[in-house]
Chains A and B, each alone.
Chain A
């Protein structure tokens, strides 16, 4: 069993540091609530004009929005700082990590936690409740399991994207713009009914950067909508596999990155 005491101690201190300045903390939370609401407004505007988009109606789109936002907010809260790696490199914090007796990735992950993302997460959870209430879902054990599995795996997928982005930052210092395409771009892609994308893009967001697994595929299965060639309903059950795949890639990126740092010296 891994002893988590060190990480708990670090995270507790990070949380205390953020709660020190109440006003700025509350402002930050309101800021992320704003981000969540803005993105929600986009969905609402679209469905104000059309009834169905990419095979999804408004309720289904809300479900996709909620699932992807829940997963992204949690991942962003816990490991979103990984793509800030160049800052750590410049400040020399990274060298301090090397001389502590803990794995580097675990230290980086626990080095910060962005509590303010709770705002966006809350918006997403409320939207999830609304979507589930509006939809006529034939609830059974399988549906519940699928929902829980999707949130866990989706969060793992986004966390893997941030980790991969962190690993790539070792190669392209100031490459945040490039890696943002995968993290924030992936989050945007995950919110869309996948059928609005041309096939090559759908394949990319399903089998290369597997964000289609985060929300679209589970939503289609939970709502029992008809599947199609690129998105058969059973594929939703492969979400954990997509997460494993994402983490294998992320782990390799991270290892390559830290090796590169030891090789080049930042």
Chain B
């Protein structure tokens, strides 16, 4: 028996080859996805970012069998989503941030019951899985609440639980944290990290929030006008565009500029050094470490942290890729 390459290399869980998708609006023809080629291996966590209308949702729809590619190839879990949509649906969980997959007029627990039946889960197994997800996502109190009465944060956690009910190999999240408050975002991210740690679920998510990318993803794809503008690690992205966070520190007394803080760069100092701004790379150090270093030198009265703006990051990537 010969050992082929396919026996050794794992099949990518997502694979696109020269994927193209055109839309026609009247006589005009626009290209939403333009010769996109990439592969995602099982177990990866990939952030898929780009401006509005860059082609993110269109790609996801082609990967899940909702849209037919104009040309090129899309494979999800090794399957053709157009021909094997149902088989793909068994192995993939999808959350479209703006569109609910729950039954809005029924108590939340009924949506879980129905979805378990739709996926033909064994009742005992479904119950255990639901209980675990409800527990981890802290949704027990909402089980009897009609979906339409849930808050946005509660609904999003419910959507994610619903998408994970059948223990999919691949979880696709389209804008999962949009509109959520800081606390809800954090709980959601912690849950996703834990879920991936336990089950090794592959994650593909689109987002406008750099925090999602930093805390959840080990790889980033940036799409610009339907084309792949960047494919690499978060560190690579930061190195390319300098996706630094800004620590704004108010000090008790006027202090000379805080040069030479470990792994941080002084941006500016104002009011005789009462307020100073330090930039740092979140992949290299933490806000706490920077703060500790500063505290050794001066008394800190107040501080704020400014996250890098994903739109800025994307814009800078676009400038780089379009310029070259």
Contact = CB atoms under 8 A, between A and B. Distances in A.
A binds B: yes
Interface of A: 3, 5-6, 8-10, 13, 16-17, 20, 91-93, 95-96, 98-103, 259, 262-265
Interface string B170-211: 000000000000000000000000000000000000000000
B86 interface: yes
Interface in B63-108: 64-68, 82, 85-87, 89-90, 92, 94, 96, 98-101, 103, 105-106
Contact of A101 (B101, B106, B119): B119
A10 B98 CA distance: 23
Interface stretch (B109-117, B230-238, B297-305): B109-117
A96 B101 contact: yes
Contacts of B132: none
A3 B68 CA distance: 29
B127 to A, nearest CB: 14
A263 B64 CA distance: 14
A16 B120 CA distance: 21
22 contacts: A3-B120, A6-B117, A6-B120, A9-B113, A10-B114, A13-B103, A13-B110, A13-B113, A13-B114, A16-B106, A17-B103, A92-B99, A92-B100, A98-B85, A98-B89, A101-B87, A102-B86, A259-B68, A263-B68, A264-B24, A265-B66, A265-B67
Given A3-B120, A9-B117, A101 B90 contact: yes
Interface in B281-320: none
Interface residues of B, number: 32
Nearest to A5: B117
A99 B101 contact: yes
Given A92-B99, A265-B67, A6 B92 contact: no
Contact of B64 (A9, A17, A98): A98
Contacts of B89: 98-101
Interface in B43-74: 58, 61, 64-68
Contact of A262 (B82, B98, B114, B117): B82
- State the 3 A-B residue pairs at the shortest beta-carbon distance, nearest first: A92-B99, A9-B117, A96-B101
B118 interface: yes
Nearest to B96: A95
B106 A95 contact: no
B117 A8 contact: yes
Contact of B68 (A5, A10, A262): A262
Contacts, number: 78
Contacts of B86: 101-103
A52 to B, nearest CB: 50
A94 to B, nearest CB: 8
Contacts of A101: 86-87, 89-90, 118-119
Contact of A102 (B24, B106, B118): B118
Given A13-B103, A17-B103, A264-B24, A99 B114 contact: no
A264 B61 CA distance: 12
A96 B99 contact: yes
Nearest to A18: B105
Nearest to B95: A99
Contacts of B101: 96, 99
B282 to A, nearest CB: 33
A91 B99 contact: yes
Nearest to A93: B99
A265 B118 contact: no
Contacts of A92: 96, 98-100
A92 B94 CA distance: 13
Contacts of A99: 64-66, 89, 92, 94, 101
A100 B99 contact: no
Nearest to A107: B118
Contacts of B106: 13, 16-17
Nearest to B69: A262
- Among B82, B96, B101: residue with most chain A CB under 10 A: B101
A262 B118 CA distance: 22
Contacts of A103: 86
Interface in B114-135: 114, 117-120
